[in-house]
Structure 1
Amino acid sequence: MGTGVRVVVVGQVARDLVLTVDGVPDAGASAAVRERAELLGGKGANQARACRQLGAWVAVVGVAGDDPAGRQALDEARAAGLDVTGVVVRAGARTALLVDVVGPPGERRLLEHVEAAVLLTADDVEASADALSGADAVLLQLQQPAAAIRAALRLAGPRALVVADGAPEDAALVDELLAARAVLRADAPEAEALAGRPVRGLPGTVAAATDLVTRGARVVRLAAGADGDVVAWPGGHVVTPLLGDDPVDPTGAGDASTAALAVALAAGRAPEEAAWWAAVAARRAVGHAGGRPDLDGASVAAEARLARARAAGSRAPA
């Protein structure tokens, strides 16, 4: 199902190595690997792939090394239907490597090797000025350097939906994102950085999300641990529970949900409906090792309607 939405994702391109084990060994011990997968990864590529699955046209702005891992990552991105014209191949750099060690269901450890050379610069972003100015939605990973994020903010078209994922090291960038009426998505530790204060429990998460909306954000989605996620917008908010039972690997839930939230909003869906799209996308990411969801707009929309109806029914008075 095509949406007609044009998305540019500004973020990480990496190689993922996913290892499934029965248990993580202690120091000096070893463990057998039951399953192994090597695939395109990184937050930028993951979000781009999810947006493409949901029917958007998608371009990636990122950095790969001039090594076999980088060439393989770009080949996989093209095969997934992504425009990688904006991916810089950095001479002498090694492509980022993320090792996802998946143990008992719901437990994982992530090892990251990300050299400074494969982080975006402002010049890298400015080379994709045409794509950014013509995008309906621009997705920003705030783990990238502030100069690159500021360049993307400056180059995004005036009507583009800006969706920022994470929390920047430069606190001043939060105010710039709020001034740009960005959509903000953060996990629990990042929520505290965005809010500028401790965030405790579901009531604290609701308060932080609504405060960020009051300060200028278009929509805010903050993780609230086992309580699910809070999505707030001017005039309202909803708490979406964690969908599905016994998650295998939490890797990729944030990326899938950010992509679904962005595509739904850019396609004109209401914030509450987009919130349920995000919840469904997260569920589909955690059901297996590696965080690679299987998404399409029609089935996500149908499942989101069903989940929303069930939640409303559970809240109805007996």
Structure 2
Amino acid sequence: MTPHRPRISVVGSLNMDLVVSTGRMPTVGETIQGSAIHYIPGGKGANQAVGCARLGAEVSMIGAVGDDAFGQEIIRRMKEKGVEMNHVTIQKGVPTGTATILHLPDDNCIVVVPGANGSVTTEMVEEARDIIETADVLLVQLEIPLQAVERALSIAKKAGVLTVLNPAPAQLLYDSILRLADYMTPNETEFAILSGDRSIEHMDLTTVLSRWQTAHHHKLIVTRGSEGVSYLSEGQLKHVPAPKVKPVDTVGAGDCFNAAFGFAMACGYTIDKALKFAVKAASISVTRFGAQDSMPTIEEVGES
């Protein structure tokens, strides 16, 4: 690792995850019995912030929660995990964002209610300008309004801060946003939506990635779950395979990947080494329950 402690700013969502464990998916109109429910702080932004902090980064979170019990609990627990929360706004009269997760034996499905995340403004981002400008890396996602995402990327880009855009949940993005990212990290489904081609799996991935990078001027990294990641290096398609593990809970695996990738890049890793590090971290995370509690430490991931 580099001698300095990397500084990472995360602009994004904070949710309370309501995780319901059950043996199967109910059919329409059916009531079934679950085996457990857990209340776990989550949200893509918060998960990535905790992931970076667990690895040893100095992390600042920028976002919003509601003035309710969920918001208070999220702030308390993230502080305990080492995330600086001075730029998380408490919105009066607005509920904290929630994600209701149906946790099945082999997968999960999720319903997100944005709550306070939908009230994050460009003004809130501006108030954290110093935090963003002095970071080594900025991480952003798409669970807050796009205007706030674009402002954060613009501040970072002008200051020479490395920017990582995790385009999740997927939606079509303006070119003005895409051009502000140094790295973009969609999974295969998200990239199919972004590119407008739902049959991307049948296309020449080298050509698809090359055309995208030429058009939008950033490095594209496509995450592929248990298959690892794919990206271009000097015009050649490269893959980083994921270690074979027995998954327990896949919630937060993508957030762990982004946190570990941002951390490694902030430490000065080459992209090849950073991606190996991030894939290994994400593979460790799926062997444990809970998005934030599953995030590995630097000792667990090692140098990769």
The answer to whether TM tops 0.5 is yes
1:7 aligned partner, one-letter code: I
- SS across alignment from 1:135: coil
Equivalent residue, structure 1, for 2:34? 32
- SS across alignment from 1:186: coil
The answer to which structure, 1 or 2, has the higher relative contact order (CA under 8 A, 6+ apart) is 2
C-alpha spacing 1:28/1:142, structure 2 compared with 1 (3 Å): closer
**Kept in 2: contact 1:138–1:162 (CA 8 A):** yes
Equivalent residue, structure 1, for 2:145? 145
- Normalised TM-score (structure 1): 0.85
Asked if 1:158 is matched to 2:159, the reply is yes
| Unaligned segments of structure 1, at least 5 residues | 305-318
Equivalent residue, structure 1, for 2:103? 102
Equivalent residue, structure 2, for 1:124? 124
Equivalent residue, structure 2, for 1:82? 83
Equivalent residue, structure 1, for 2:57? 56
* Residue 234 of structure 1, CA deviation: 4.8
Q: Comparing 138-147 with 107-116, which one deviates more in the overlay?
A: 107-116
**Kept in 2: contact 1:7–1:137 (CA 8 A):** yes
For 1:146-295, list aligned pairs within 5 A.
Answer: 146-156=146-156, 157-166=158-167, 169=171, 171-172=173-174, 175-201=175-201, 204-215=204-215, 217-224=217-224, 227-292=227-292, 293-295=294-296
C-alpha spacing 1:61/1:116, structure 2 compared with 1 (3 Å): closer
**Kept in 2: contact 1:10–1:62 (CA 8 A):** yes
* Residue 246 of structure 1, CA deviation: 3.3
* Residue 37 of structure 1, CA deviation: 2.3
Asked if 1:22 is matched to 2:6, the reply is no
Give the % identical residues. 26
C-alpha spacing 1:237/1:119, structure 2 compared with 1 (3 Å): farther
Alpha-carbon separation, structure 2, partners of 1:161 and 1:193: 25
Equivalent residue, structure 2, for 1:297? 298
1:230 aligned partner, one-letter code: S
**Kept in 1: contact 2:10–2:59 (CA 8 A):** yes
**Kept in 1: contact 2:248–2:286 (CA 8 A):** yes
Alpha-carbon separation, structure 2, partners of 1:92 and 1:61: 19
Alpha-carbon separation, structure 2, partners of 1:42 and 1:134: 24
- Normalised TM-score (structure 2): 0.88
C-alpha spacing 1:177/1:98, structure 2 compared with 1 (3 Å): same
* Residue 177 of structure 1, CA deviation: 4.3
| Unaligned segments of structure 2, at least 5 residues | none
Aligned residues: 299
**Kept in 1: contact 2:16–2:41 (CA 8 A):** yes
Alpha-carbon separation, structure 2, partners of 1:165 and 1:286: 19
Q: Comparing 51-60 with 231-240, which one deviates more in the overlay?
A: 231-240
C-alpha spacing 1:184/1:117, structure 2 compared with 1 (3 Å): closer
Alpha-carbon separation, structure 2, partners of 1:244 and 1:237: 22
RMSD, aligned α-carbons: 2.4
